[in-house]
Amino acid sequence: MQQVNLGMIGAGTVGSGVFHALQRNGNLMADRLGVKISLRKVAVKTLGKTRAHSFPRSLLTTDWREVVNDPDIHIIIELVGGTGVAKTIILAALELGKTVVTANKALLSSHGKELFAAAAKHGASLYYEASVCGGIPIIKSLREGFVANQFSAIYGIVNGTCNYILTRMKLEGAEFADVLADAQKLGYAETPPDLDIDGFDAQHKIGILASLAHGFWVDHDDIHTEGIRTVSKIDMQFAQLLGYTIKLLGIVKQANGAKTKHGIRNTKQKTRNGVQVSVYPALIPSTHVLASVNQVFNAVFVRGDIVGESLFYGRGAGRDATASAVLSDVADAALDLKNNAKIRVPPFVAHAKNACVTPMDEIVSRYYVRLDVVDQPGVLAKVAAIFAAAKIGISSVVQPEGHEGESVPLILMLHDAPNSAMRKALAKISKLPAVKSSPVMFRVESLE
């Protein structure tokens, strides 16, 4: 049986998961693929460290170049993470024409174009299934399974930490800060937690999915990103009352030509193929299957013009789920090497003409707004007048009884309107003397 040799750089959580999975199922993979996969060298920072799965000393080196430059090693697995030495390692491997498998979403997000160009220049392959939603084969499904489709919408719950926090806030009626602190204790959130809870991890992932779905590389600076710090217990509860659940969504939506119920159409978008690519907490119908995706689980809802609606659900992170994805890339790479078809599927094909990310201001959404207002006559009239002047229709108003104190919550559900109009209206509303704190606004996604 033909053999393909692996070298691994980084032996942390995912690295030990890959080692463990190969020990457990390596023979099974060889049976299935007709290629033997052999881990030959592992570069680590320190030799002495205790690891979840102890690598045989004979595999280890502290010099990543020794792994990359070994002529017997065909596939380099980069599990260092970050955008520093990881980039140097990948470029060095690609330069030698080697196949690279990575789980490094941050690096792809920042330097994807450069890496793809290097791969193309040197006739090398670059695989990255593990970079998005760990155990969910979403890259393979979008790129291969749904290759015959245009993607009108992709909605992803792609950050397990945020989903864990929002799930507990919903189920326990708890406040954000308390759940976050607990999540940090339990190891579900990092310290500091910014990368996750400010939406940047989701931004990296949704940017990669958007790029694959729409055929142009999405610059992460173009992705409108909001995290979940603004979600509070009271909004979670009002959302539930109204039939919604708040989830942090990565959203990729065809934005052009979408005429809304209220006849708003952005004429600027007609000549471009505009795509909404964004990350924000949104109210989604509690009856939708995405609303039932709880705890650290991830899910991606995909609407293709041919295939219709699909959902993929699974573990988005963790040692083993990510290792499973890394090894699926290794398997593809091994089959391609076996068949002398090294770049059968190029890392990225930029084929879309005139496609671009539509600025958030031009996106039309529905909205949930919560104001903290003085309980006196005339406040609602003033708020309503500002929305009316901005041509934003109000679909419902809730002012619950029984709130004591100087101010009361006023919740408004608003019809489709461009984000620019909403932004300006909220700026005006926040200046009203009767409005006691900054307005809270979340978008409402019907997922239809």
Residues annotated as catalytic are 205
Residue ranges in 136-165 that form contacts with its own copies under rule CB under 8 A: 136-137, 140-141, 143-150
Pairing state of beta strands 273-285 and 244-254?
Answer: antiparallel
Candidate list 181, 234, 289, 432; residue touching its own copies; CB under 8 A: 289
Q: Do 128 and 326 meet the contact criterion of CB atoms below 8 Å apart? A: no
Residue 52 lies near its own copies (rule: CB under 8 A): no
Residue 331 lies near its own copies (rule: CB under 8 A): yes
Cα–Cα distance between 74 and 334 in angstroms, integer?
9
Candidate list 65, 261, 262, 344; residue touching its own copies; CB under 8 A: 344
Quick one: which of 28, 30, 7 has its CA closest to 335?
A: 30
Cα–Cα distance between 251 and 445 in angstroms, integer?
10
Residue 321 lies near its own copies (rule: CB under 8 A): yes
Crossing angle for the helix pair 160-172 and 233-241, to the nearest 10 degrees = 70
Residue 72 lies near its own copies (rule: CB under 8 A): no
- Secondary structure element (H or E) that encloses residue 126, with its range: strand 126-127
| 146 vs 238 by CB, closer to its own copies | 146
Cα–Cα distance between 260 and 364 in angstroms, integer?
8
SS3 233: helix
Residue 314 lies near its own copies (rule: CB under 8 A): yes
Pairing state of beta strands 224-225 and 394-398?
Answer: unpaired
CB of 320 to its own copies, least distance (A): 5
Cα–Cα distance between 93 and 247 in angstroms, integer?
39
Distances (CA, A) of 85 to 81, 119, 125: 8, 17, 19
Residue 21 lies near its own copies (rule: CB under 8 A): yes
| 133 vs 408 by CB, closer to its own copies | 133
Residue 305 lies near its own copies (rule: CB under 8 A): yes
Candidate list 4, 9, 11, 29; residue touching its own copies; CB under 8 A: 29
CB of 313 to its own copies, least distance (A): 4
Residue 402 lies near its own copies (rule: CB under 8 A): no
Quick one: which of 106, 97, 146, 147 has its CA closest to 126?
A: 97
Q: Which range, of 90-98, 258-266, 275-283, 329-337, touches its own copies by CB under 8 A?
A: 329-337
Q: State which amino acid sits at residue 348.
A: F
Strand partners, 417: 365
Residue 19 lies near its own copies (rule: CB under 8 A): no
Residue 215 lies near its own copies (rule: CB under 8 A): yes
Residue 191 lies near its own copies (rule: CB under 8 A): no
Q: Which range, of 25-33, 119-127, 159-167, 400-408, touches its own copies by CB under 8 A?
A: 25-33
Q: Taking the mean position of all CA atoms in its chain, how far away is CA 130?
A: 12
Which residues lie near its own copies (CB under 8 A)?
A: 17, 21-22, 24-25, 28-29, 31-34, 129, 135-137, 140-141, 143-150, 215, 289, 292, 304-315, 318, 320-321, 323-325, 327-328, 331-332, 335-336, 339-341, 344-346, 349, 351-352
